[in-house]
């Protein structure tokens, strides 16, 4: 049996406000155990406050766990690193830079120094290739205020992919977009992941998005002290077409399973806790 690419081992996360002892403590996550294979697409889904983004931040190394450990490719996650790129709901592009320069900035930081330092021509080629991958070559000289929200997210994804990360971490990257733009970018993401063979962990609130994109859907229980309630394997063949899947019986079954967890079983737990 192969070693998991990402290992989350007995992770707990408790946030404590500065200057407080027991007051201001919030137990966000408890007893989190999760293995992710290389090249797997995993989504984290659950109600607001269930710790999805907290778990993603832990894998990114942006936050350290109160207890437990996280490992990526055999090494403990103790800080952010270029092998784990993050795409947020807010594209976080620098407004005074062009699309090209926003992507090139990350490329230069990772490949512009050190033993494997690359030439200016190579750095430019990496940047151009990343923009082409998300169909944004035509907007390379434009600044963020000159392009649409969906295009900004494409550039954000290009910036993440340009540094050739081992893991792509996405925190509701399409959450602020209109339905049509969101659907188009989901379809593009399917193609990009197929081409790059990326390992992806993505946070979403959207059931259809989770089933369409994922190899596995990780369903989180309600917070506080949220944990993994269920993990569902999505055994739909790839490449996937949203139109073909719309009436696919297996797709409908997977969708119903997630809805049942979130709004029947999990909803019942919320009522009892109230």
Whether 51 is in a domain gets the answer: yes
Whether 251 is in a domain gets the answer: yes
Alpha helices in 112-148 (DSSP H): 120-133
Q: Which two tokens stand for residue 192?
A: 């990009």
In tens, the pLDDT along 235-244 reads 999 888 888 8
Cβ burial, residue 188 (10 Å; 0-12/13-18/19+): middle
Query: Which of 97, 127, 132 lies closest to 112, judged by CA?
Result: 127
Whether 142 is in a domain gets the answer: no
- Does 91 score more than 90 pLDDT? no
Q: What is the pLDDT of residue 1?
A: 58
In tens, the pLDDT along 135-163 reads 999 999 999 999 999 999 999 999 999 99
In tens, the pLDDT along 176-223 reads 888 898 898 999 899 888 888 999 999 999 999 999 999 999 999 998
- Does 21 score more than 70 pLDDT? no
Q: 250 is in which domain, residue-wise?
A: 1-83+197-274
Question: What is the average pLDDT across 1-29?
Answer: 84
Alpha helices in 41-116 (DSSP H): 52-60, 99-111
Whether 99 is in a domain gets the answer: no
Provide the domain count of the chain: 1
Q: Which residues contact 209 (CB under 8 A, 6 or more apart)?
A: 43, 174, 182, 186
Q: Which span out of 36-45, 109-118, 262-271 was modeled with the highest average pLDDT?
A: 36-45
Of 39-53, 64-78, 178-192, 225-239, the poorest mean pLDDT is in: 178-192
Whether 5 is in a domain gets the answer: yes
Query: Mean pLDDT of all residues in the chain?
Result: 90
Looking at per-residue confidence, does 24 or 206 come out higher?
206
Q: How confident is the model at residue 270 (pLDDT cuts 50, 70, 90)?
A: very low
Whether 140 is in a domain gets the answer: no
Beta strands in the chain (DSSP E): 6-16, 25-36, 41-45, 67-72, 75-76, 84-87, 167-171, 199-204, 216-220, 228-233
- Does 3 score more than 90 pLDDT? no
Q: Which two tokens stand for residue 201?
A: 């962990």
Q: What is the pLDDT of residue 46?
A: 93
- Does 69 score more than 50 pLDDT? yes
Q: CB–CB of 214/190 below 8 Å?
A: no
Q: What is the pLDDT of residue 239?
A: 87
Q: What is the pLDDT of residue 22?
A: 60
Q: Which two tokens stand for residue 73?
A: 């490719």
In tens, the pLDDT along 254-268 reads 999 999 999 887 664
Q: How confident is the model at residue 274 (pLDDT cuts 50, 70, 90)?
A: very low
Q: What is the pLDDT of residue 269?
A: 47
Whether 45 is in a domain gets the answer: yes
CATH number at residue 30: 3.40.50.300
Rounded percentage of the chain residues whose pLDDT exceeds 90: 71
Q: What is the pLDDT of residue 23?
A: 64
Whether 252 is in a domain gets the answer: yes
Find the helix packing angle between 99-111 and 120-133, rounded to 10°.
130
- Number of Cβ within a 10 Å radius of residue 67: 13
């Amino acid at each position: 049996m192969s070693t998991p690419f990402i290992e989350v081992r007995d992770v707990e996360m408790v946030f404590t406000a500065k200057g407080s002892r027991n007051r201001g403590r919030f137990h966000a996550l408890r007893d989190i155990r999760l293995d992710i294979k290389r090249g797997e697409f995993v989504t984290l889904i659950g109600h607001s406050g269930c710790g999805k983004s907290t778990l993603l931040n832990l894998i990114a190394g942006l936050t350290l766990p109160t207890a437990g450990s996280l490992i990526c490719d055999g090494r403990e996650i103790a800080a952010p690193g270029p092998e784990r790129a993050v795409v947020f709901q807010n594209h976080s592009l620098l407004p005074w830079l062009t699309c090209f320069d926003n992507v090139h900035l990350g490329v230069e930081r990772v490949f512009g120094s050190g033993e494997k330092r690359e030439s200016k021509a190579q750095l430019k080629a990496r940047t151009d290739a990343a923009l082409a991958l998300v169909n944004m070559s035509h907007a390379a000289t434009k600044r963020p205020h000159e392009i649409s929200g969906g295009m900004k997210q494409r550039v954000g994804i290009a910036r993440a992919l340009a540094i050739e990360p081992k893991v792509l971490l996405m925190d509701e990257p399409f959450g602020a977009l209109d339905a049509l733009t969101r659907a188009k970018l989901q379809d593009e993401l399917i193609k990009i992941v197929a081409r790059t063979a990326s390992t992806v962990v993505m946070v979403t609130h959207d059931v259809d998005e989770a089933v369409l994109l994922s190899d596995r859907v990780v369903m989180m229980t309600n917070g506080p002290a949220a944990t993994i309630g269920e993990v569902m394997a999505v055994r739909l063949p790839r490449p996937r077409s949203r139109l073909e899947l719309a009436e696919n019986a297996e797709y409908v079954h997977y969708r119903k399973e997630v809805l049942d967890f979130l709004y029947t079983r999990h909803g019942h737990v919320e009522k009892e806790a109230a």
